[in-house]
Structure 1
Amino acid sequence: MRLKHLATGGAMILAVALVPLTALSTDNPTPGQILTQFAAPGPSPVGLAFDGKYLWVGDDQTDKLYKLDPASGKVLATLDAPGSELRGLAFDGQNLWTSDNASRRLARLDQSKGRVLARVAAPVLPLRNQPQELGGLCWDGKYLWSGIVAGFSSRMNQVDPQTGAIQKFYFTKGYPRALACDGTYLWNATDNAGRRAGLIYKYRLSDGLFVSQLDTPGDWPSGLAVDGTSLWVVDRESRQIYRLAAE
């Protein structure tokens, strides 16, 4: 199922989308500077994960997961995504995880075959008169973090991967459309309904303290990953994947 676009991007973003692969100067990059970019393989990219060597990106129109060479963007493998409304993608050191908004479930997948190994219910706390949608997904070394898009009650839930129980949660700045974690910090990317560039917020993992923020290259960030030195973000409107200098 394709996410609805609430607004179209500007001409500059469309021009960037025409560039298949770009490597920019990496001499003393500033935080948020684009280091590399290439096109996403599908028409509606969402979710991003780094498995230690390769990137994975999902697509909620093709309902596929794509394994990519991070140097070139070349597709190395394709798997079926479980569910019909993919929203998040994570790697736990051994397997992939997806979040599906239609079923409200998190699924653990064998990354070589795409076989579903386990499913847990994505915890969504009841809120009166407030629609909720699953957002991004990431792994902190022990637990999953699942984004919940719910207006001013938007948050990141720390989730037990065995039971789906919420261990704790942090309220977020903006909607947690995409999440990433390196074991020390959490990041969430949010759109601004197309009114301006998206934002990436950085928080301390231990207590949720806000640390800093960066603009995203596009208006509609839909996936986020960290590879140890850089941040990766995918934009669903420009359909570009960017590697950004981290702090």
Structure 2
Amino acid sequence: MRNKFYFILSLLLLFAGNFKIYSQITEENYQYTLEVIKTIPAPGPNCEGLTWDGNYLWVSDIVNDSIYRIDTSDGTIVHKIPTSPANHLFEGLAWDGNYLWASHYETITLSNPKITKIDPLSGNALWNIVPYSGTCWPHGIAWDGQYLWVNDFRSKKIRKIDPFSGIGLDSIPCPGNNGSIGLAWFNNHLFTGDFNTDSIYQIDPVTKQVVNQWACPYTNPRDMEFDGEYFWFVAYEIAKIYKMKLIITDVETQENLLVQDFYLYQNYPNPFNPSTMISWQSPVGSWQTIKVYDVLGNEVATLVDEYKPAGKYEVEFNLAQSAAADIPAIASGVYFYQLKIADPEINSGQGFIQTKKMILLR
């Protein structure tokens, strides 16, 4: 009963106990190369937007005014929907688990920007928002499980926006040399390409720093996406889509005296079925727990309950594995996952607590 009380209290506070400390920590800097697995033909002559729905790629073409769902094995078109209005350039695509989101603006005037939520079967617009500024120039777009991120080519910033109102919540300066266009979200990081440096960048949205940079195998990279294992991007000038694998080539370890935040990331994907990844970070070593609760505060699962040194971590919440372990099945709905980190001074008590919401769709 006491644990349930503290859980409900934490929901009321939601982000209770955030604080910063100075800590000597070890950081690992990974440097990546891209291995091209294959290329497939793009479904149109000038494809720009790209996203992944869990089974297929979706690609927008600004000449044929269409969005295509294609088979990743050979580029075969599985489904096609028209873009509307037809006088708009649909530059970016994102997938929220059920629907498409598209960023677009008028072809001739390069104005009247919109972000549209689209029914993937009919192509009907379900929701339209004007993103934060009527003068923006939205290109790439990404979904982080809760919010949209938009690559604004005019202001040279990547902006986090509310998907219902379009209000800007945060912004990150675009890396590269004023040529950042495409955008993807994967493993709690942003990815964007710059056509002036022919590079792809990985960005930590918390620190707003470039984590990694690597050379793109073809000039002028456009929109990009991860399918959970491989990285895809559109080379619109040659009407091809590249499938690539990230390879860690070197690890450099260094000690730094830094101010670090405790942080619990939004799970991905969200909504989910049957599994989702939960990531968090701690600047100190201590006993850490992650538990899942229903809306009544009943504990559903314990994902982590152990001592961990300072660093970044992730854990999978997998309903298939839960079933194999004889854990009772849970229904579709809203659930909460909660991170607790013991007081680093005495390794007991409550030093930090944070709770986030996730949605199960069966």
Q: CA deviation at 1:204?
A: 1.1
1:234: Cα distance to partner? 0.4
> In the alignment, is the contact (CA less than 8 A) between 1:124 and 1:148 conserved in 2?
no
Q: 1:104 to 1:204 in 2, by over 3 A?
A: same
Structure 2 stretches of 5 or more lacking a match?
1-31, 107-111, 248-362
2:117 aligned residue (99, 108, 123) = 108
Counterpart residue identity of residue 208, structure 1 = K
Normalising by structure 2, report the TM-score: 0.55
Q: Which structure has the highest strand share of the two?
A: 2
Tell me how far 1:66 sits from its aligned partner: 0.5
Supply the AA of the counterpart residue of 2:158.
M
- Matched residue, 1:166: 168
Report the equivalent of 1:91: 95
The CA distance in 2 between the partners of 1:183 and 1:160, in whole Å, is 20
Displacement, 1:112? 1.2
1:180 corresponding residue in structure 2: 184
Contact 2:40 2:72 in 1 (8 A): no
1:204 maps to amino acid: D
User: In structure 2, the residue corresponding to 1:85 is in which secondary structure?
Assistant: strand
Q: CA deviation at 1:183?
A: 4.4
Aligned alpha-carbon RMSD (Å): 1.6
Structure 1, gaps ≥5 residues long: 1-29, 127-131
Alpha-carbon displacement from aligned partner over 1:25-72 (angstroms, at most 9, x marks no partner): xxxxx7311112111010101010001111001011111001011122
Q: Distance in 2 between matches of 1:179 and 1:110?
A: 21
Aligned-partner residue type, residue 36 of structure 2: I
Counterpart residue number, 2:298: none
State the shift of 1:217 in Å. 2.2
The alignment covers a number of residue pairs equal to 207
Residue 58 of structure 2 is aligned to residue 49 of structure 1: no
Instruction: For 2:218 and 2:239, locate their aligned partners in 1 and report how far apart those are by CA, in whole Å.
Output: 9
Paired position in structure 1 for 2:235: 235
Is the 1:140–1:183 Cα contact (8 Å) retained in structure 2?
no
Q: Which residue of 1 aligns with 2:208?
A: 208
Scaled by the length of structure 1, the TM-score of the pair is: 0.79
- Aligned partners of 1:156, 1:241: CA distance in 2, in Å? 23
User: How far apart, in 1, do the equivalents of 2:163 and 2:78 lie?
Assistant: 28
1:120 and 2:129 matched: yes
CA distance in 2, matches of 1:205, 1:246: 20
**Structure 2: how far apart are the matches of 1:121 and 1:233?**
26
If you compute each CA radius of gyration, which structure gives the higher value, 1 or 2? 2
Letter in structure 2 aligned against 1:59 = D
In the alignment, the residues of structure 2 paired with residue 56 and residue 100 of structure 1 have an alpha-carbon distance, to the nearest angstrom, of 15
CA distance in 2: counterparts of 1:47 and 1:163, whole angstroms: 22
Q: Percent identity?
A: 28
